[in-house]
Amino acid sequence: DAGVTQSPTHLIKTRGQQVTLRCSPKSGHDTVSWYQQALGQGPQFIFQYYEEEERQRGNFPDRFSGHQFPNYSSELNVNALLLGDSALYLCASSFWTADNSPLHFGNGTRLTVT
């Protein structure tokens, strides 16, 4: 049973560029959430997708956007990269219909912006 998989594992980009991160949820899960984890900090909620729609959004600018595909996989896009976007980006999957459904996390994508 495959867990949450993310790609790539590491990425180096230059300020102003755009980046796309990818996530495949745990088998059977229908909801994908994205989190940003800065060094030494806890994960911060970016947004969540269910049925190919953004359902909730955290306090992140519009430069951060996403997409969910019919097979429940998801992409996180960040435009006009800033140095402060350097972080570990975590994808988490869960069941939409279950209250308090625990999040299952991938190992993350380490983004470095230079």
Partner 1 sequence: GDSVTQMEGPVTLSEEAFLTINCTYTATGYPSLFWYVQYPGEGLQLLLKATKADDKGSNKGFEATYRKETTSFHLEKGSVQVSDSAVYFCALSDPTGGYQKVTFGTGTKLQVIP
Distance in Å, CB of 19 to partner 1, minimum: 20
**Coil, strand or helix: which one is 83?**
helix
Q: How far is the CB of 76 from partner 1 (least distance, A)?
A: 16
| Cβ within 8 Å of residue 47, ≥6 positions away | 33, 34, 54, 55, 56, 57, 58, 60, 64, 66
Which window, 10-18, 60-68, 72-80, 86-94, contacts partner 1 (CB under 8 A)? 86-94
Q: Mask 28-57, x = binds partner 1 (CB under 8 A)?
A: ---x-x-x----xxxxxx--x------xx-
101 contributes a contact to partner 1 by CB under 8 A:
yes
Asked if 105 contacts 4 with a C-beta cutoff of 8 angstroms, the reply is: yes
